[in-house]
């Protein structure tokens, strides 16, 4: 469970202070698919960066498994980061590395040995249906295949939480639904909590169990998808 408590974040810029998030409190239940929707500039990316510990809140806190992440030591933070993975709109793959090389990359960083990496990569390839692309380069893949590499890479370290930042925004509707169905399988079969940042309503309606609506740095509504979007 991720607990966000009275989280505010402002940035100091040349033009003064920008309030990106104001007093956000949310519970992200374990094993949920939690959508965060809002228009551009609403604060979605800032919220995600606070969850993956790339950004420090100005006020408030984030608890993961009941632990306030601002109190973690450097070593604990590094360990915790392996439990929170991320996939991106533009995939962020290394162009000079094969599909296997990209999927195994976080494990190299984490210091795994070659044999263990090979074993883990060969478990991950079939999970995203890329067995026959192991030795291809990103430039040889479609957008959907690239995102499947991104998903496999994100799962490499066996995370508990998968953060998806506009992960389907660069994809056509058909490819979007195939990626969403992979995410749903991962949620159900591996028991991961998935947080999806999006500006697309369809994404929320298709797979999310819960949703929070952000507007102008505030959370204006949150609850299960039925509570928020399906009127009685």
Interface residues with ligand ADP (CB under 6 A) are: 11, 13, 18, 20, 38, 40-46, 97-98, 100-101, 104, 114, 117-118, 121-122, 134
Q: For ligand ADP, which residue has the nearest CB?
A: 101
Residue (98 or 157) nearer to ligand ADP, CB: 98
Q: Could you tell me which residues come within 8 angstroms of residue 93 by beta carbon, excluding any fewer than 6 positions away?
A: 102, 138, 146, 149, 150, 153
Beta carbons of 124 and 148 less than 8 angstroms apart: no
Residues facing 195 on adjacent strands: 34, 163
State both tokens at 101: 């090389």
d(CA 10, CA 105): 33
Residue (40 or 73) nearer to ligand ADP, CB: 40
Residue (53 or 134) nearer to ligand ADP, CB: 134
Tell the smallest beta-carbon distance from residue 152 to ligand ADP (Å): 11
Tell the smallest beta-carbon distance from residue 87 to ligand ADP (Å): 15
Tell the smallest beta-carbon distance from residue 190 to ligand ADP (Å): 19
Beta carbons of 227 and 35 less than 8 angstroms apart: no
Beta carbons of 33 and 207 less than 8 angstroms apart: yes
SS3 215: strand
Tell the smallest beta-carbon distance from residue 5 to ligand ADP (Å): 19
Place of tokens 């809002």: 38
d(CA 202, CA 224): 15
Residue (30 or 114) nearer to ligand ADP, CB: 114
State both tokens at 155: 């799962």
- Helix axis angle, 173-190 relative to 143-155, nearest 10°? 20
Tell the smallest beta-carbon distance from residue 197 to ligand ADP (Å): 7
Residue (41 or 143) nearer to ligand ADP, CB: 41
For residue 208, how many C-alpha atoms fall within 13 Å in the half-sphere facing its CB?
28
Residue (216 or 227) nearer to ligand ADP, CB: 216
Residue (18 or 110) nearer to ligand ADP, CB: 18
Tell the smallest beta-carbon distance from residue 129 to ligand ADP (Å): 14
State both tokens at 115: 């044999």
Tell the smallest beta-carbon distance from residue 63 to ligand ADP (Å): 21
């Amino acid at each position: 469970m991720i607990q966000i408590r009275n989280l505010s974040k402002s940035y100091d810029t040349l033009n003064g202070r920008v309030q990106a998030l104001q007093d956000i409190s949310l519970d992200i239940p374990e094993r949920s698919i939690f959508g965060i929707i809002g228009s551009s500039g609403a604060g979605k990316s800032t919220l995600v960066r606070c969850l993956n510990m790339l950004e420090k809140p100005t006020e408030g806190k984030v608890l993961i498994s009941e632990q306030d992440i601002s109190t973690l030591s450097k070593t604990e933070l590094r360990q915790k980061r392996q439990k929170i993975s991320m996939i991106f709109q533009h995939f962020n793959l290394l162009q000079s590395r094969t599909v296997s090389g990209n999927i195994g990359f976080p494990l190299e960083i984490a210091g795994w040995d070659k044999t263990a990496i090979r074993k883990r990569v060969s478990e991950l390839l079939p999970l995203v249906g890329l067995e026959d692309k192991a030795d291809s380069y990103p430039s040889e893949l479609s957008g959907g295949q690239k995102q499947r590499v991104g998903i496999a890479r994100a799962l490499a370290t066996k995370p508990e939480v998968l953060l998806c930042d506009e992960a389907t925004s660069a994809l056509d509707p058909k490819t979007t639904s195939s990626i969403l169905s992979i995410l749903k399988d991962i949620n159900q079969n591996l028991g991961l909590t998935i947080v999806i940042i999006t500006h697309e309503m369809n994404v929320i309606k298709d797979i999310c169990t819960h949703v929070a609506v952000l507007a102008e740095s505030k959370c204006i509504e949150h609850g299960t998808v039925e509570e928020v979007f399906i009127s009685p």
